[in-house]
Chain A
Amino acid sequence: MLQNQSPAQYASALLINAVCEPQQLSKLSDCDWDLLLQVARQKRLLGRLYMELKRLCLLSSVPENVAAQLRAANNLVTHRQTVLAWELNRILWALKGLDVPVIALKGIAYVIADLPPASGRFFADLDILVPLEHITVVEQRLLDRGWLKTTLSPYDERYYRLWMHEIPPLRHRERESEIDIHHTLLPRTHRFNFHAITASLFTEAHTVPNSEAQILAAPDMVLHVLVHLLFEGNPEEGLRLRDLIDIADLLRYFGSEMTFWSQLVQRAEQLNLGRPLYYGFRYLQRLLGIKVPAFAIQTTARFAPIAPIQWLMDWLVPLAILPEHPAYPRYRARLARQLLYLRAHWLRMPPLLLIRHLSYKMWLRLRKVPRYIDIKPQDLQQL
């Protein structure tokens, strides 16, 4: 370990180098691999490391049980991708005849369009986008064809229906994948929402060969991941490094055409997402060393926040997004995760609504009503 590096810096550097320069992986010591596997598992990047090593024909140069662990993770990723691609296929089958455009979002979009972030990427749920005016018929059709509603409390049900950008998740009765049906990309009550022009997501969408689902236009796709990265903090997990890596992959792929960058900036402005794009460029450069064309930086400079906020974000974002050393968790990283979580909620709904929502959740917690029911294997065996 370098002398002036803290354990957390060392762990982060290992993971970031592994992602950015996978060709160096064959030189790692056993101790470094041991730590890298732990942080990559924490950030769900094992599958990606496997695919990178495979692409570079370096799998045989890493220790045998490292290769085994990576292969195990990647087999699981491949399985998830197959299962979710099949789920999408079934949804499209069920919706046949309705004449509703269906846009695949995030992970499943990368898979069906064969985009670079799909490689080794683990994803848990299936996300699709349909126009708001059709969402009731879509939901009803899926319910008629074997999908079930997940049981939610009346409060949560209302929360989804009134305030969110998606309806409560559905799940097919014979399969385990959860599907999230969105009608826009941000909660209805969100500070940055762009209701008025949600329809343009559909007019700009692209078709995909061999699928009846569509994908978002390239700039919209990038902005959607940014929104997900910056507005969905989780106090345990922090901001998702995987989202930042997805953006890096997408920019590298679409960015070879210079017109893409100006379209991206223009579209961000149109959707009122200039600030997230500004942050995106900033942290891609700072954390992953991604090169963004100078003119794109210049044209997004006007979206910058005031200096104190900028300073605060520069302190919080790296703490919340980079991995922790598993043996030395830091209080300030936890604080950063929590503050960004609060920020995400602050932006998510107007202050009065937020107070109402949080008081209700606090009340549930005081009464010890479990947020979800966790069934462990042991409990099942006790029957």
Chain B
Amino acid sequence: MMISELTATELQARLTTAGLCFGCGPFRLRLNSSLRLLFPVLHKLYAHYPVYDHSGVDDYRMTLDWASPLRRWLRPVVRFSADGPAPFTDVSIEQAFPTLEWGMNWCIAVRAHHVLMLHAAVVERHGRVLVLPAAPGSGKSTLCAALSHSGWRLFSDEFGLVQPEDATFIPIPRLISLKNQSINVIRQFSATAHIGSTYHGTHKGSVAHIRPPLASITRMKESAPAGWVIFPRWQAGAALTLQPIAKDRAFMMIASNAFNYEVLGELAFKAVAHIVKNCEIYSLVYSDLAQAIHTLDDLTQ
């Protein structure tokens, strides 16, 4: 059963009692919240995630609720926590949903050390994945959103999860988070993209979230090996360039891009070496999104 198949009352009942248990990629999450404003948002944007039974082994147990009973009425603020003390400072109720999204990322980033975590967007076609590792602000999420609405299957816009044993990528189809100008860019690029409300004035500016396409969630247990690694960089007015990157340099770029390369040590070294050996690796500078997608399509035919 998917979250969209729950009635609004059923969804609320779960969130306010034992918790809403649902699956995202390899993880089983449990969410508790009594924030009414969150319910319709979850119903829409989490629509395709499978609902799980209450009894099971949770990976992350998250709570997003009023910081205190008093703060529900007086300058309302909410607090995110997961199995322990709150990792973030409290935020105003308007920012509840983006905070939940960041909170979920935080859970994965600090705990999922059984896999190598690249800070990368990942999409798949013809059984191989295209990895887009990049620093924030380089247009990785925008490119990822456009690709996942142009025939590619979304793995993740934030985490390239790599199984250390065989260096295959594991899908974790979380919502794609768009910032500032890229929200409109994607609205214009794709009529089918389901984009939620825009939240203004967060610590990352304005953000909006795209619901992962249905197919990316129904096939979220299907891993795939990497075929291409592209380091993207959006630059206003630039002519498109696609430059191969030497393998030794690529190795360092991927290793330093990972969240937990040091933690996994030798396992991480081998996984990155495997990826570098088996992939075509390029840097991509672009200004026109449609042209960039076209180039990537050609490259990966």
A contact residues vs B (CB 8 Å cutoff): 30-31, 33-34, 37-38, 41, 63, 65-66, 68-69, 71-73, 75-76, 78-79, 82, 326, 376-379, 381-382
Contact = CB atoms under 8 A, between A and B. Distances in A.
Contacts of B27: 65
Contact of B264 (A37, A75, A377): A75
Q: Considering residues A73, A82, A378, A379, which has the most beta carbons from chain B within 10 angstroms of its beta carbon?
A: A378
A69 B106 contact: no
B9 to A, nearest CB: 24
A72 B112 CA distance: 6
Contact of B114 (A30, A75, A82, A379): A75
Contacts of A382: 203
A37 B263 contact: no
Contact of A379 (B55, B58, B59, B89): B89
Nearest to A76: B113
A65 B88 contact: no
Contact of B113 (A33, A72, A377): A72
Given A76-B113, A76-B263, A79-B262, A378 B88 contact: yes
Q: Considering residues B114, B203, B264, which has the most beta carbons from chain A within 10 angstroms of its beta carbon?
A: B114
A69 to B, nearest CB: 7
B57 A73 contact: no
Given A75-B263, A382-B203, A69 B114 contact: yes
B265 A79 contact: yes
24 contacts: A31-B55, A34-B55, A34-B57, A34-B58, A37-B57, A38-B61, A41-B83, A63-B57, A66-B57, A68-B59, A69-B57, A69-B111, A72-B114, A75-B114, A76-B263, A79-B262, A79-B263, A82-B265, A376-B88, A376-B89, A377-B87, A379-B89, A381-B203, A382-B203
Nearest to A33: B57
B28 interface: yes
Given A30-B55, A68-B114, A71-B114, A377 B106 contact: yes
B262 A65 contact: no
B56 interface: yes
B75 interface: no
A72 B111 contact: yes
B28 A65 contact: yes
A231 to B, nearest CB: 25
A82 B265 CA distance: 10
Contacts of B88: 376-378
Contacts, number: 64
Contact-size category for B: 20 to 34
A69 B59 contact: yes
Interface string B100-122: 00100010000111110000000
Interface of B: 26-28, 55-59, 61, 83, 87-89, 102, 106, 111-115, 203-204, 262-265, 267
A77 to B, nearest CB: 10
Contacts of A377: 87-88, 106
Q: In the A-B complex, list the 6 residue pairs whose CB atoms are closest, starting with the nearest.
A: A72-B114, A72-B113, A71-B114, A75-B113, A79-B263, A68-B114
Contacts of A378: 88-89, 102, 203
Contacts of B264: 75, 79
A39 to B, nearest CB: 11
Contacts of A376: 87-89
Nearest to A326: B83
A65 B23 CA distance: 12
B265 A30 contact: no
Given A377-B88, A378-B88, A30 B56 contact: yes
A279 B61 CA distance: 37
Nearest to A75: B113
Contacts of A381: 203-204
Contacts of A79: 113, 262-265
Contacts of B55: 30-31, 34
Given A72-B115, A79-B264, A79-B265, 20 more contacts: A34-B55, A34-B56, A34-B58, A41-B83, A65-B59, A68-B114, A71-B113, A72-B113, A73-B113, A75-B114, A75-B263, A78-B265, A79-B113, A79-B262, A79-B263, A326-B83, A376-B87, A378-B203, A381-B203, A381-B204
Nearest to B87: A376
Contacts of B106: 377
A76 B27 CA distance: 19
Nearest to A374: B89
B203 A30 contact: no
A381 B207 CA distance: 15
A33 B27 CA distance: 15
Contacts of B28: 65
Nearest to A382: B203
A65 B26 CA distance: 8
A198 B146 CA distance: 68
B56 A38 contact: no
Q: Considering residues A30, A34, A73, A326, which has the most beta carbons from chain B within 10 angstroms of its beta carbon?
A: A34
Nearest to A236: B85
Nearest to B99: A378
A311 B59 CA distance: 40
Contacts of A63: 57
A41 B262 CA distance: 22
A371 B264 CA distance: 34
Given A68-B26, A73-B113, A82-B265, A30 B87 contact: no
B54 to A, nearest CB: 9
Q: Considering residues A41, A73, A377, A382, which has the most beta carbons from chain B within 10 angstroms of its beta carbon?
A: A377
Nearest to B112: A72
Contacts of A33: 57
Contacts of B112: 72
B29 to A, nearest CB: 11
Contacts of A379: 89
B136 to A, nearest CB: 9
